Structure formats: C-alpha cells, structure tokens
Amino acid sequence: MPSPSTVAKWDVFEHTIVAEIPGNPYLEVSFWGVFALDNRTIRVPGFYDGNGSFKVRFSPDQTGHWTLTTQSDTAVLNGQTASFTATEARPGVHGPVHVRNTFHFGHADGTPFFPFTTTCYVWTHQPIELQEQTLASLAECEAFNKLRMCVLPKHYPYNTNEPLHDVFEVKADGNYDPDKPNFEAFRHFEAQIAQLAEMGIEADVIIFHPYDRWDHCMWTQEQDYRYLKYLVARIAAYRNVWWSLANEYDFMLDVKPMERWDRFFSIIEENDPYGHPKSIHQGDPNQMYNHRRPWVDHVSIQHYDTLRTAEWRRDYGKPMVNDEMHYEGNIIQNWGNITAEALVHRFWMTVTKGGYAGHGETYSHPEDILWWAKGGKLHGQSPDRIAFLRKLMEEDVKNGLTPFEELSTIRSWRSMGAARDGDVTFLYFGEHRPVIWSLGLPQEDGNWEVDVIDTWNMTITPAKRVPAPIPVVTRHGGTTQGGKANAAFGIELPGKPFLVVRVRPGKAP
C-alpha cells in the first residue's frame, strides 16, 4: 500500500512494509522510522500488524516536506524510504494537549483546553451497535471533551459479558497469551480513538486495571513492558491520546510492584515523541502514587471530597483532575448512587477550587448496560448541567482558574468555591444559602457586570445591587477600613443552594 503524499498537520501519516519474516515478529522484530524536516529528526517506533504487515505512524507538527528512513536489524525493514508533505491543519484541529500555565491544559496551537471527562471503561469491547450508540450520545451531549477508556476488557459487576474482540489470543485455559496480540482488536481500538478525535474528544487510554479474568494482571515484567511499547507504537500518533497507566493501580501492587510502575512511565517517555499527558489513578486515597515525580504530567485522583482540590493542587504543583468523585446513579454500591445534584455540585466545587472533574453514570439496567462501563445512552440529569458549566468556562476563562485559597487568607472560602482568571471571578456558594453578599467594588463603579448563576436550573440573572452589609469583604480578600457600607455594594441572592456569582468587566445592570 503506497504511503500518502500529503498529510495535514497533526493528522496521521502511515507507512507500511509487507515482508514475510519467520517466527513471531511481535517478539523478535523491532524497527523504527526516522522522520526528518530540514535538520530536524524525530525517531518513532514501528510495530507489527499481522499478516506480514509492518507499520510506522507519525503525526507531523510542522508543515513542510518530511522524509522517512526506516531502521532495523532485520534487513528487509532497514533503509526503506518515503516522503510526504505536511499541509496546514484542518479546520477545528488544534493539535495534541499538553500542560499549560502549570495547573491547566492547552492544545499545541495555544488553544486552551478545559477537560470535562466522562468514563466508559469498556465501551470499545461491546457490540458494534452499542458502540455506535455511545458515539451518538457523545455527539448529542455537549458536556464532554474527554473519555476514559480501557484497552483491556474488565471482569467486574455489570461487566461480565464477553468482549467483542479478545485483545490477545486465548489459550486453552481461557487466559490471554501475552506473546500473541489479536491485531484485529488493536485495529478496532485505534479506529475508535480516531473517531473520537474527529469529534473533538480526547481519549484517556487506561493501560492496566485489576479487574481481570484473562490473567493479564499476572504477566511478567517483560510481557508488561512489551505490551506497553507495542501500544505506544500503535496509537501515540493520534493527537487525542492521553496515557493513564492504570485504573486503581494500587490494587495490583502485589503483582506489579512500585518499581514496575515507575518503569512504565519511562517506557512511554522513551517511545512517545509527542509528549502526550501521562498520569496514574489510585483506588485507596492512602495509596496515591507520588505525583510529584517529574515524569507525571498531571494528578489523576479518585476522591469524593472535592473541597480538598485546592489543597492537592498546592501539594502537587500540577493540574488536578478528579477522575472519580462517585457517579450519578442508583446501583447498590455507594460509589454509584449519588444524585445528579450532588455530582453537579462536585463539578462546580472542583472547578472553582482550580481543578477539573470527571463524570460517570451508573443507573441500573435490565441488561447491565451502564454508561460508566459500556456506554450506550445517557439517562441522568447531570450531563446538561455539566455542559452548561463547560460553556461558561470556555466563554469566560482564558488562562485557567486560580482558587481563592492561593489569593486570599479569608477562611470562609475553604467551605465554598471561589476562583479567578484575570478580571473574571466565580464565587460558588455550594450548600450555603446567603440572601445578600458583599462585593469589594465601589458603589459608584459601573464597569462591572455581576450575574447570579443557578447551576441546576441553568439560568443567568443580572444581580440586583443593594447596600453592602458590614464588614465588606473585598474581591482581593481583605476588608474595607471600618467596614463602612458605602465603600462597596452588595447583591441580593434568593437564599437557595448551589448558586454562583460571576463578576466580570462590562456594563453594570
């Protein structure tokens, strides 16, 4: 198959070599592609795709004329050449995501990226019709731009069906043969990643997990490393990939010790030339991986107490992503039966504490088709409210929100959420229900637009200004001298929970 002559920036160039090589090429053959643009070279790993087909993939980050030369100890794979021209990126394509402004994310072209994540662990292992329904649900819902998804199938409550494709060949004892990938399964998995990319959705790829009836948790160190290198070689060229080393890695420490997890991070760094975001997710809050290590790009955490987000952000000095805060649903497990109101509250609290949050949905279903596991249809009330929050963020926030804990010493903000980006401030009252609130803005200053946002009913109402109560808390965290009411104005609030006050430059009502 001839290689394409042109590829748009941040799309995928693929070069294929067909060669009959005896033995098991997955175990015994390695080769690389060296891509060059002028004096710049990038070396990427190739991979075997079955039936004598060897491939190397590359995502150009610059326009121009690129050349490829292959390298291998296997003669037929060594010294092959190809070339292509990288054109400008297609409309709407902004490139891979990286850490931006210390605590936040952005695309390669500088476009900010605020992750709004949902979890569908094994959606790519379901029947094709259900997978198509999942994609349709994501396309219809405007809440989510990132999806957590497993490479390997799961064996867990509500997850007992056979996968669409076994990821490795199955031995007589029912276990996977780690030396024999099922290439069809990998092709399908990467095709779904590509579909998500076209929808503008990042794929948070979960590489290992403990919910296993195929014995993949028991692979040797060498087998784990080989699988990881192979996966990176296959999918790193897709611009929307994120690396999650594991879901609940700490439940596997007895069979995959800590030094192995450290090495997993190194393998990704050695084989992914694009620097896709890397993290790792824990089950027990007391078994968190040391996210301070330099090879971890962002903190992926599982914790219900979203009030601690600013604390974690301070402690780790990296973007905070709370991927599991419990799920909207009604199943018997306590992590899967919180209300939509509770989940929306946790989203707002996380965001106004300077972090990012993850959604999941676990409503009982007669066929065990729960969104959190298999995708399908969304049944809950939280996605629309999360979409509302996402729209506000993308309209008002340019650099990322900084929580008041980093801007103020006022203790009251520890039980509420407040954050600022430039001249835009969000004050989230959570369960608190004030009927009046002070703003540290002069009464005569008409250059501020103040709105009251109802996070559940998704309404935005201009605030009614009233004389400020005493003492006055300023926008900068202090108090006016003497607490004089005429130094600033207050606003009326309806005395109900889950409200936000937004202050931004503009014409006062």
Q: Is the peptide bond before 163 cis (omega within 30 degrees of 0)?
A: no
**Are 51 and 151 in a shared domain?**
no
CATH number of 28's domain? 2.60.40.10
Question: What is the predicted pLDDT for the residue at 437?
Answer: 87
92 inside domain: no
95 inside domain: no
214 inside domain: yes
Question: What is the predicted pLDDT for the residue at 484?
Answer: 45
Question: What is the predicted pLDDT for the residue at 410?
Answer: 63
Residue 46 contacts by C-beta under 8 Å, 6 or more apart in sequence?
Answer: 30, 31, 32, 33, 54, 55, 56, 70, 72, 77, 233
Q: Which of 159, 155, 135 is nearest to 147 (CA)?
A: 135
CA distance 478 to 488: 12
CA distance 78 to 89: 31
Question: What is the predicted pLDDT for the residue at 489?
Answer: 76
**Are 258 and 228 in a shared domain?**
yes
Indicate whether 441 pLDDT > 90.
no
**Are 231 and 306 in a shared domain?**
yes
**Are 54 and 116 in a shared domain?**
no
Give the end of a domain, one of 396, 425, 453.
396
**Are 143 and 189 in a shared domain?**
yes
Confidence of residue 483 (pLDDT cuts 50, 70, 90): very low
Confidence of residue 442 (pLDDT cuts 50, 70, 90): low
User: With contact defined as beta carbons under 8 Å apart, do 87 and 8 qualify?
Assistant: yes
- Burial category of 359 from C-beta neighbours within 10 Å (exposed 0-12, middle 13-18, buried 19 and up): buried
Question: What is the predicted pLDDT for the residue at 412?
Answer: 66
Tokens read off for 309: 């987000």
Residue 151: DSSP 8-state: S
**Are 383 and 431 in a shared domain?**
no
Question: What is the predicted pLDDT for the residue at 4?
Answer: 82
Q: What is the mean pLDDT of the chain?
A: 93
Distances from the Cα of 355 to the Cαs of 50, 104, 300, 301, 402, in angstroms?
Answer: 43, 8, 11, 11, 9
**Are 334 and 378 in a shared domain?**
yes
Tokens read off for 35: 């891509």
Over the stretch 349-395, which tens digit does the pLDDT of each residue have? Answer: 999 999 999 999 999 999 999 999 999 999 999 999 999 999 999 99
**Average of per-residue pLDDT across 400-408:** 92
Picking from 361-365, 366-370, 405-409, 486-490, which range would have the lowest pLDDT averaged per residue?
Answer: 486-490
Give the end of a domain, one of 348, 379, 396.
396
Indicate whether 218 pLDDT > 90.
yes
**Average of per-residue pLDDT across 63-88:** 97
Residues forming a β-bridge with 208? 246
User: With contact defined as beta carbons under 8 Å apart, do 93 and 345 qualify?
Assistant: no
Rounded to two decimals, what is the model's pTM? 0.94
CA distance 69 to 111: 33
End-to-end CA distance of the chain: 64
**Are 69 and 18 in a shared domain?**
yes
CATH number of 476's domain? 2.60.40
CA distance 279 to 242: 8
**Are 136 and 265 in a shared domain?**
yes
Tokens read off for 287: 């078994």
Picking from 232-246, 417-431, 437-451, which range would have the lowest pLDDT averaged per residue?
Answer: 437-451
Q: Which of 288, 289, 285 is nearest to 303 (CA)?
A: 285
291 inside domain: yes
100 inside domain: no
175 inside domain: yes
Q: Which residue has the higher pLDDT, 4 or 272?
A: 272
Confidence of residue 249 (pLDDT cuts 50, 70, 90): very high
Residue 109: DSSP 8-state: T
Q: Half-sphere exposure of 329 toward its Cβ, with a 13 Å CA cutoff?
A: 24
Which residues in 341-393 belong to E strands, given as ranges? 356-359, 361-362
**Are 151 and 191 in a shared domain?**
yes
CA distance 408 to 155: 47
Tokens read off for 61: 């980050």
Question: What is the predicted pLDDT for the residue at 105?
Answer: 98
**Are 470 and 379 in a shared domain?**
no
Q: Which residue has the higher pLDDT, 443 or 90?
A: 90
Give the DSSP H or E segment for 107.
strand 104-107
Q: Which residue has the higher pLDDT, 475 or 376?
A: 376
Residue 468 contacts by C-beta under 8 Å, 6 or more apart in sequence?
Answer: 438, 439, 443, 485, 487, 488, 489, 490
Q: Strand 448-454 vs strand 499-505: parallel, antiparallel, or unpaired? A: antiparallel
**Average of per-residue pLDDT across 251-259:** 97
**Average of per-residue pLDDT across 264-271:** 98
**Average of per-residue pLDDT across 186-190:** 98
The tally of domains found in the chain comes to: 3
93 inside domain: no
Question: What is the predicted pLDDT for the residue at 163?
Answer: 97
Residue 348 contacts by C-beta under 8 Å, 6 or more apart in sequence?
Answer: 389, 417, 428, 430, 455, 498, 500
Question: What is the predicted pLDDT for the residue at 407?
Answer: 87
**Are 201 and 225 in a shared domain?**
yes
419 inside domain: yes
Confidence of residue 49 (pLDDT cuts 50, 70, 90): very high
Tokens read off for 311: 């604390």
CATH number of 273's domain? 3.20.20.80
Give the end of a domain, one of 356, 381, 396.
396
Indicate whether 475 pLDDT > 80.
no
**Average of per-residue pLDDT across 469-478:** 54
Could you list the residue range(s) of the whole structural domain that residue 26 is in?
A: 6-87
Question: What is the predicted pLDDT for the residue at 34?
Answer: 98
501 SS3 class: strand
- Give the dihedral sign, CA 259/261/264/266: negative
Confidence of residue 508 (pLDDT cuts 50, 70, 90): very low
**Average of per-residue pLDDT across 279-287:** 95
